[in-house]
Homo-oligomer: A and B are copies of this chain.
C-alpha cells in the first residue's frame, strides 16, 4: 500500500488542526477481503499518513498502538521486516504495540508464496472471533499464558540466527494451534477448508521426505496459505508442487494465476499452461495412488518476499488526490 500525500501539507500546527478538512484517498494493491490482512495494511497506512500530516513526534511503536485500534494486526504493519506484537501490561491495552525485531534487509533469502484459496461456496461464516475464543475455549488460556510466550522467544532467536528449520517448525506448529483453539471455541470457528488441509499435507509430506523443513506454512483468519521458503531454489520446487496439485482452470491464464515476482515461475521451468499440465508428480507422492490434482481449488498464487514498512512518496505524480482541487483524481 502506498500513501501519496501533499508534501506541502506536512507542516500543520496543532492549533490549526481543528479547522482542517482532510480528503483521504486510499488505494490497495493487495487482494482485499481475501483474509490476507489487507485491512491491517490499510489501517497502518491511514495512521502512518495522518501521523506524518499532523507532525506527530512519537516513535512508530507508539503510533502502532493507535493503528492497533483499527485492526489488531495493523500495529505490525507499521514496520517492515520482522515484527512482534507485544501484549503489554495495561488492562486497557494502551501499551499493546508492535516492535520491529529485524528489518527487511536482515533475511533476504526468504521467498513467500501465498496460495489464495478459491471459495467456491460461501465459507463457514463467523461473526465471532478471538473474543469468543477467549470466552469459551478451555485451551486458549494454556496457549496464551504458556505456549505462545515460550514460542515467541524461540521465534525471535530463530529469526536472529536465520535458522530456517526452527523458524518453520515454530510457524507451522503455531498456525495449527491457533486454528485448534478456533475449533475449541463455542460455536467452533473454521477458517481452514479442505484445500488448506491439502496444502498442509503437501508441505508436511515434502518436509518429512527430505528430513528437514523445506517450507513453512501459516494460515491467518481464512483458508489462504502463506508459504515461506528459505531460498529461491526451494521456492521453485515448491511452486512446481503447488502447480502440480492445484492447476488453474482452463479459462485462467498463467499471467493472472501467478502474480508478483514471476521469476519464481521461470525458475520452476513453467512458461505456459501446457507446462503446468505436463508437470510430473513430485517424488514424495509419485508412488502413491491416487495423487489427485485439484483443478481450480487455488484461485491464484502471489510470489513475494519480506517487505518494507510504509513510506511517504515524494513523487507528486503518484498522489491519489488532485493537487488543485484536493479531491480524489
Q: Which residues of A contact B (CB under 8 A)?
A: 121-122, 124-125, 138-139, 142-143, 146-147, 169, 172-173, 176-177, 179-181, 183-188, 190, 193-194, 197-198, 200-201, 204, 208, 290, 292, 294
Majority-rule SS of A interface residues: helix
Q: Decide: A172 near B200, CB < 8 A? Known: A122-B292, A139-B139, A147-B138.
A: no
A291 CB → nearest B CB, Å = 9
B292 near A121: Cβ-Cβ < 8 Å: yes
Residue of B nearest to A193 (CB): B194
Q: Are A184 and B188 in contact (CB under 8 A)?
A: no
Pick from B146, B147, B183, B208: contact of A176, CB below 8 A: B183
Considering the complex of A and B, which 8 residue pairs feature the smallest CB-CB distances, nearest first?
A187-B204, A180-B180, A180-B184, A180-B183, A142-B142, A190-B197, A176-B188, A138-B147
Q: In the complex, what residue of chain B is closest to A121 when comparing beta carbons?
A: B292
Structural contact, A200 and B188, CB atoms closer than 8 A: yes
Contacts of A181 in B (CB 8 A): 139, 180
Q: How far apart sit A10 and B78, CA to CA, in the bound complex (Å)? A: 79
Among B121, B138, B147, B179, the residue within 8 A (CB) of A183 is B179
Q: In the assembly, what is the distance between CA of A124 and CA of B201, in Å?
A: 7
Chain B residues contacting A190 (CB-CB under 8 Å) are 197, 200
CB <8 Å contact, B147 and A173:
no
Q: Tell me the complex Cα distance, A183–B137, Å.
A: 15
A173 to B190, CA, bound (A): 14
The interface residues of chain B lying within 8 Å CB-to-CB of A204 are: 187-188
Closest chain B residue to A151, Cβ basis: B138
**Distance in Å: Cβ of A220 to nearest Cβ of chain B:** 15
B292 A177 Cβ-Cβ under 8 A? no
A174 to chain B, nearest CB (A): 10
**Shortest Cβ gap from A247 to chain B (Å):** 15
Contact status B176-A186, CB under 8 Å? yes
Give which listed residue, B138, B177, B201, contacts A138 with CB less than 8 A. B177
